[in-house]
Structure 1
Amino acid sequence: MKEKIYLIPGLMTDERLWKRLIPLLEDEYELIHVPIPHSEDFDEIIDILFDYIKEEKVNILGFSLGGYIASYFAVTYPNRVNKLFMLAATPGASNEAEIERRKEKFAVIEKNGFNGLTYEKAQSLVEKKNQNDEDLIKTIQDMFMDLGKETFISQLTSTFNRLDLFHDLVNLDLPIYFYYSTEDRLLNNESIKKLLSTEHNIKIVSREGTSHNISLEEPKELSKQIKKWMNI
């Protein structure tokens, strides 16, 4: 019987986020994609997940917004979590500047409609060495467009309500892995500095580069880290 890992995607991503990672892990683990529940309230989101996950204790990996949700779930229901993996995700609250930028995106949608991501915009989100990977860029575009306007507004609005989970997280008595790219401009740098400068039991592993969508850009590297986490 394979051990299960529940996978929570990030903002405007779905099961396609894992398509390059799953083939590297499926012989050893059962990988279960869990869509982000359609709600702007993190308490409601994790309660939906609480009912969705049938096992008594689970290994949970969350990417970006999904990493925050996984962390929120772990600090709220620690008795339901065996191990936690935060992928390109920080436990901090959104700052005012981030919230203002996101509100501006709503204004643009109201004015111009929801048009998804241009090829150039999607290309700018990946590392330079991967910018000729057409399947990668198209996957990012397709996920964004297929999830659509309502999901975008719901997920982005939820980020306005982020609480700082740092202290609750560092006091959890379970194996926690934090894996990120050192130059990822989508991450909260203050939150990372706090993690790096405080004593705790979280295993922090970084990789050189700008990649946020690590599971699509560096699946081999990520699969090795997941195996290490599962063997803690």
Structure 2
Amino acid sequence: MNNSQNLPLVMLPGFLCDPRLWGDVLANLPPGDDIILIDFKHCKSLQDMVGQLEKLETSRFHLVGFSMGAYIAKIFATKFPERVASLTLVATNVGALSEREQTSRSKLAGMLANVQYKGMNEKEAQRFIHSSSAQNPHVVQTIVEMSRSYTSEMYIAQMRATLHREDLSAEIAKLSFPVLIVAGKDDHVVRLPTLQHLHEVVARSKILILDQCGHYVPLEKAKELSVAIHEFVNSGGA
């Protein structure tokens, strides 16, 4: 048994998400695992987000991040590699958000300075997932309900904190903990070639590509993701 097996699993949600993102994944993990769910909803800055991890009492843990949460995980892992037993990056952006995405988010943030954010509707949520997932009310409603739990102030703070992202691939490649990269084959937010390139840069990494899966991997392919995380953590990344 490797000495990292009994460490906690710390799970980070994405933009406009909260711990509900991981509900189906947790339901498929073996009972008894030590899970810590992070919520960035009330963070005011990037440092606040990283600080959520810094202040954890456990000195070392397995880190799992989805999308924006994976970016926060990468920042923490490069700052405090001695605290990271393994790193799982799910649908992670590599480097800066596209100009289109930055413009879209900035424009909406400007509008929200004067009106209250009301979250995504079902049609908007379906843009981010595979067509088969769009027929699953649970997946769609979870995305909608998570987004609707955000106020304008929360949206703006989270958007501004993570709008300008650095490419940390080279820094991650220099470190020693195992890395698992999980990609939705049909993700239109984070394109598959981007994550395949990350896998090539981080030579010690493993990559899992999930068919018929869009961006919201933890909701669309919960069982497959839970199996992959469990096997990865308990094999020491081998």
Matched AA of 1:66:
G
Task: Report the alpha carbon displacement of residue 186 of structure 1 after superposing the two structures with TM.
Answer: 1.2
CA RMSD of aligned residues (A): 2.3
Unaligned runs of 5+ in 1: none
User: Which residue, out of 160, 163, 167, partners 1:164?
Assistant: 167
User: Which residue, out of 219, 222, 225, partners 2:222?
Assistant: 219
Q: Percent identity?
A: 24
Contact 2:170 2:202 in 1 (8 A): no
Task: Report the alpha carbon displacement of residue 55 of structure 1 after superposing the two structures with TM.
Answer: 1.1
Distance 1:37 1:131 in 2: 25
- Comparing 80-89 with 95-104, greater Cα deviation is found at 95-104
Task: Report the alpha carbon displacement of residue 40 of structure 1 after superposing the two structures with TM.
Answer: 5.2
- Tell me if 1:35 matches 2:32: no
Unaligned runs of 5+ in 2: none
Task: Report the alpha carbon displacement of residue 183 of structure 1 after superposing the two structures with TM.
Answer: 2.1
Task: Report the alpha carbon displacement of residue 13 of structure 1 after superposing the two structures with TM.
Answer: 0.9
Aligned residues: 231
In the other structure, the counterpart of 2:9 is 5
In the other structure, the counterpart of 2:197 is 194
Q: Does the C-alpha gap of structure 1 residues 123 and 44 become closer, same or farther in structure 2, counting only changes over 3 Å?
A: closer
Distance 1:108 1:188 in 2: 28
**Which protein has the bigger helix share?**
1
Question: Where does 1:82-231 land on structure 2 (aligned, <5 Å)?
Answer: 82-110=85-113, 113-187=116-190, 191-192=194-195, 194-198=197-201, 200-230=203-233, 231=235
TM-score for both structures, normalised by structure 1: 0.89
- Comparing 191-200 with 219-228, greater Cα deviation is found at 191-200
| Paired residue secondary structure (2:167) | coil
Task: Report the alpha carbon displacement of residue 70 of structure 1 after superposing the two structures with TM.
Answer: 0.8
TM-score for both structures, normalised by structure 2: 0.87
Distance 2:24 2:88 in 1: 18
| Paired residue secondary structure (1:163) | coil
Q: Does the C-alpha gap of structure 1 residues 213 and 182 become closer, same or farther in structure 2, counting only changes over 3 Å?
A: same
Q: Does the C-alpha gap of structure 1 residues 37 and 121 become closer, same or farther in structure 2, counting only changes over 3 Å?
A: closer
Distance 2:193 2:113 in 1: 31
